[in-house]
Amino acid sequence: MPKIGFTHEVLDISSQEKYFAKGKTQLREIMWEKAVYYEDKNIVEVPILYNFHPVPSGIEKTKEKIQQKQESSFYRLILVPNGENGFHKLILKFFPENSSPFHRELTENNFFNLSKEFSGDVRQFSWDEKFKKGWKIKKGQIIGFTKPYYEVGSKSNIQTETLNQDGCYTYIENECLVIDNIFDCYDIPVVQCPEKEEPNEDFDGGINSGPIWSPNNWHGFWPGFGYGNSNTYYNSNTYWNSVYATLTDYTYQANPGIKDHNSLNKSQRLLHILNHIEIAKQQNRNVRIRDIFTNLPSYASGGPYSAPGGSYESGDAFLKINGQSSVIGFTYGFEQGYDYINMQVSPDFHDASYKDQVNYYFEEVNYPGRSALEIRLPIPLRNWFESKFF
């Protein structure tokens, strides 16, 4: 990614939020070393960590449920060019309903791409932590738009939920926080509308400064900032014709050796990985991508399931297995901390039958909450795959 003049930093933002956890210092940690640069859009996305953060409580407001939601939530800083050799900054906050180690992976949920396994809330905040707008998500589909409610010149006096003529609800939302032995909730007046957002032209909360996400233009990706679908190429005939041209027979090799990454097409790369992990499974050992390829990239080029500039490569292979030609999607880490495939435990299974496939996530040996290899299979290949790798 380009040098944008930032280094790892931890900021005290206690004065920017009105937490009830009095005496506690809230810190926001910007993980610049993990920043991803979307070169074609000139946008930067950076993971953020908070030492504590409140979450929308929904209908559940027990201490245990709030703790679980805090642990599963994740946060991103988005940098957008300001036209003056600098960047505008906004923050996206993801509050999933269900915990999954894969939600927070940049390959799963990012500014341009939302997993269809994600349900919950996504909210946009300004750099100084002011809530601007949000989206209600169910299985990757936007079902509602949320925005803060303000009564100009006076404190909100909303007491009960009210229904507007446009179908929007105005109500008091509880946001809750657990830290040490403190369990606190506070009220935020919000407006929730069905299905789509009404554009607002100001930068901090409007059409030119926030993702225009709507079920009406949903194609599996988030067209952020009106920039359009960053993955359009991967849905094109040009892309799929290039995939079909790499048709490769699945053949088992007892000694696959080490191969030049640059000399192989995507189908050949996946076949090489599958041969290695099949042998490793038989021998009850693990596999490092760096040990089976030479000339691995120093910069991720990006692909249909991974962003450019990250620690993963991805693609679609076209393999002939048992006489049947099938497209298999895959993602693999190529850097230390992302590429050590754990073959001594079974991969995590995800049912993606809504798109006629099943997904498997192999853990990173040293980082169990992180995937080192992901395989996306047509459903008919499930028994074949599990017979070899489970």
pTM of the model as a whole:
0.52
Q: Which of 202, 230, 258 is the last residue of a domain?
A: 230
Q: How confident is the model at residue 56 (pLDDT cuts 50, 70, 90)?
A: confident
Predicted confidence (pLDDT) per residue in 166-218, tens digit? 567 777 778 888 887 788 887 777 777 765 444 333 333 332 333 433 333 32
Q: Domain check: are 288 and 309 in the same one? A: yes
Highest-confidence range of 53-57, 139-143, 165-169, 351-355, by mean pLDDT?
Answer: 53-57
User: What is the structure's pLDDT at 111?
Assistant: 80
Q: How much is the mean pLDDT over the chain?
A: 77
Per-residue three-class SS string for 273-328: HHHHHHHHHHHCCCEEHHHHEECCCCCCCCECCECCCCCEEEEEEEEEECCEEEEE
Ramachandran region, residue 65 (left: φ > 0; alpha: ψ -120 to 50; beta: rest) = alpha
User: What is the structure's pLDDT at 106?
Assistant: 79
292 touches 283 (CB < 8 A): no
107 touches 310 (CB < 8 A): yes
Q: Domain check: are 33 and 164 in the same one? A: yes
Q: Does residue 26 lie in a domain region? A: yes
User: What is the structure's pLDDT at 244?
Assistant: 94
Q: Which of 230, 259, 274 is the last residue of a domain?
A: 230
Q: Domain check: are 140 and 255 in the same one? A: no
| Tokens encoding 254 | 């007892």
Side chain identity at residue 80, one-letter code: V
Residue 21 vs residue 78, higher pLDDT = 78
CA distances from 242 to 40, 298, 303 (A): 21, 24, 13
* 335, pLDDT greater than 50: yes
Q: Domain check: are 332 and 197 in the same one? A: no
Q: Does residue 4 lie in a domain region? A: no
Residue 202 vs residue 325, higher pLDDT = 325
Q: Does residue 169 lie in a domain region? A: yes
Residue 123: which of 113, 132, 111 has the closest Cα? 132
User: What is the structure's pLDDT at 308?
Assistant: 64
Ramachandran region, residue 227 (left: φ > 0; alpha: ψ -120 to 50; beta: rest) = alpha
Q: Which of 190, 210, 230 is the last residue of a domain?
A: 230
User: What is the structure's pLDDT at 137?
Assistant: 83
How far apart are the C-alpha atoms of 327 and 381, rounded to whole Å? 10
Average pLDDT over residues 328-348: 92
Ramachandran region, residue 284 (left: φ > 0; alpha: ψ -120 to 50; beta: rest) = left
Average pLDDT over residues 215-229: 32
User: What is the structure's pLDDT at 200?
Assistant: 37
- The range of the structural domain enclosing residue 144 comes to 9-230
Q: Domain check: are 355 and 258 in the same one? A: yes
Give the DSSP H/E element, type plus range, for residue 269.
Answer: helix 266-283
Q: Domain check: are 252 and 215 in the same one? A: no
Q: Please report, to the nearest 10 degrees, the dihedral formed by the alpha carbons of residues 301, 307, 312, 318 taken in order.
A: -70
Q: Domain check: are 22 and 164 in the same one? A: yes
Q: Does residue 82 lie in a domain region? A: yes
Contacts of 63 (CB under 8 A, 6+ apart): 178, 183
Average pLDDT over residues 322-347: 92
Predicted confidence (pLDDT) per residue in 237-248, tens digit? 888 899 999 999
Highest-confidence range of 61-65, 73-77, 182-186, by mean pLDDT?
Answer: 73-77
Residue 219 vs residue 32, higher pLDDT = 32
* 280, pLDDT greater than 60: yes
Q: Domain check: are 214 and 263 in the same one? A: no
* 327, pLDDT greater than 90: yes
Q: Domain check: are 180 and 248 in the same one? A: no
Average pLDDT over residues 274-294: 96
Q: Domain check: are 276 and 360 in the same one? A: yes
User: What is the structure's pLDDT at 23?
Assistant: 62
Give the DSSP H/E element, type plus range, for residue 43.
Answer: strand 43-50
User: What is the structure's pLDDT at 194?
Assistant: 65
Q: Does residue 288 lie in a domain region? A: yes
Q: Domain check: are 126 and 65 in the same one? A: yes
Strand-strand pairing, 162-163 and 169-179: antiparallel
Q: Does residue 160 lie in a domain region? A: yes
User: What is the structure's pLDDT at 265?
Assistant: 96
Q: Domain check: are 193 and 264 in the same one? A: no
Of the listed ranges 20-34, 151-165, 244-258, 299-313, the one predicted with least confidence:
151-165
Q: Does residue 2 lie in a domain region? A: no
Helix (H, G, I), strand (E, B) or coil at 24: coil
Q: How confident is the model at residue 41 (pLDDT cuts 50, 70, 90)?
A: low
Helix (H, G, I), strand (E, B) or coil at 40: coil
Number of domains comprising the chain? 2
Q: Does residue 3 lie in a domain region? A: no
Residue 373 vs residue 64, higher pLDDT = 373
Q: How confident is the model at residue 15 (pLDDT cuts 50, 70, 90)?
A: low
